[in-house]
Amino acid sequence: MTQKTYSLLITFEQILNLVLQLPAEEQEEIIQQIKKNSPKEQTMKLSDLYGCIQDEIFIRHPQLEQPEREAF
Protein backbone atom coordinates (compact mmCIF):
# COMPACT_ATOMS: atom_id res chain seq x y z
CA MET A 1 0.00 0.00 0.00
CA THR A 2 1.42 3.36 -0.97
CA GLN A 3 0.88 6.50 1.02
CA LYS A 4 -0.10 9.71 -0.76
CA THR A 5 0.87 13.14 0.50
CA TYR A 6 -1.36 16.11 -0.16
CA SER A 7 -0.60 19.76 0.25
CA LEU A 8 -3.32 21.81 1.89
CA LEU A 9 -3.11 25.58 2.15
CA ILE A 10 -4.84 26.60 5.36
CA THR A 11 -4.15 29.44 7.75
CA PHE A 12 -3.72 29.15 11.49
CA GLU A 13 -6.92 31.15 11.94
CA GLN A 14 -8.85 28.65 9.81
CA ILE A 15 -7.43 25.77 11.86
CA LEU A 16 -8.39 27.52 15.09
CA ASN A 17 -11.94 28.09 13.83
CA LEU A 18 -12.25 24.42 12.92
CA VAL A 19 -10.94 23.30 16.30
CA LEU A 20 -13.34 25.61 18.12
CA GLN A 21 -16.24 23.82 16.42
CA LEU A 22 -15.22 20.54 18.06
CA PRO A 23 -16.58 19.32 21.40
CA ALA A 24 -14.52 20.39 24.46
CA GLU A 25 -13.07 16.88 24.95
CA GLU A 26 -11.72 16.77 21.42
CA GLN A 27 -10.34 20.30 21.75
CA GLU A 28 -8.48 19.24 24.89
CA GLU A 29 -7.12 16.14 23.12
CA ILE A 30 -5.77 18.30 20.28
CA ILE A 31 -4.19 20.71 22.77
CA GLN A 32 -2.48 17.82 24.56
CA GLN A 33 -1.16 16.41 21.26
CA ILE A 34 0.23 19.81 20.30
CA LYS A 35 1.92 20.17 23.70
CA LYS A 36 3.34 16.64 23.44
CA ASN A 37 4.79 17.26 19.98
CA SER A 38 6.06 20.79 20.63
CA PRO A 39 9.68 21.48 21.54
CA LYS A 40 10.12 21.58 25.30
CA GLU A 41 12.48 24.52 25.40
CA GLN A 42 12.18 27.36 22.97
CA THR A 43 15.39 29.31 23.07
CA MET A 44 15.71 31.85 20.33
CA LYS A 45 18.65 33.97 19.41
CA LEU A 46 18.19 37.56 18.36
CA SER A 47 19.46 36.57 14.93
CA ASP A 48 16.41 34.28 14.63
CA LEU A 49 14.12 37.25 15.18
CA TYR A 50 15.97 40.02 13.38
CA GLY A 51 17.12 39.48 9.84
CA CYS A 52 18.89 41.56 7.26
CA ILE A 53 16.90 43.35 4.64
CA GLN A 54 18.39 42.42 1.30
CA ASP A 55 16.70 45.08 -0.78
CA GLU A 56 18.20 47.88 -2.83
CA ILE A 57 15.31 50.23 -1.94
CA PHE A 58 15.93 49.93 1.80
CA ILE A 59 17.64 53.05 3.12
CA ARG A 60 19.32 52.88 6.49
CA HIS A 61 19.17 56.23 8.21
CA PRO A 62 22.11 57.16 10.40
CA GLN A 63 21.45 56.48 14.07
CA LEU A 64 22.48 58.99 16.69
CA GLU A 65 24.73 57.79 19.48
CA GLN A 66 22.66 56.66 22.41
CA PRO A 67 23.90 57.28 25.96
CA GLU A 68 24.46 54.15 28.01
CA ARG A 69 21.46 53.17 30.04
CA GLU A 70 21.52 52.38 33.70
CA ALA A 71 20.42 48.91 34.75
CA PHE A 72 17.25 48.81 36.82
What lies within 8 Å, CB to CB, of 13 at 6+ separation is none
* pTM of this prediction exceeds 0.85: no
Predicted confidence (pLDDT) per residue in 12-67, tens digit: 888 888 989 999 999 999 888 888 887 776 676 666 656 666 666 666 666 677 77
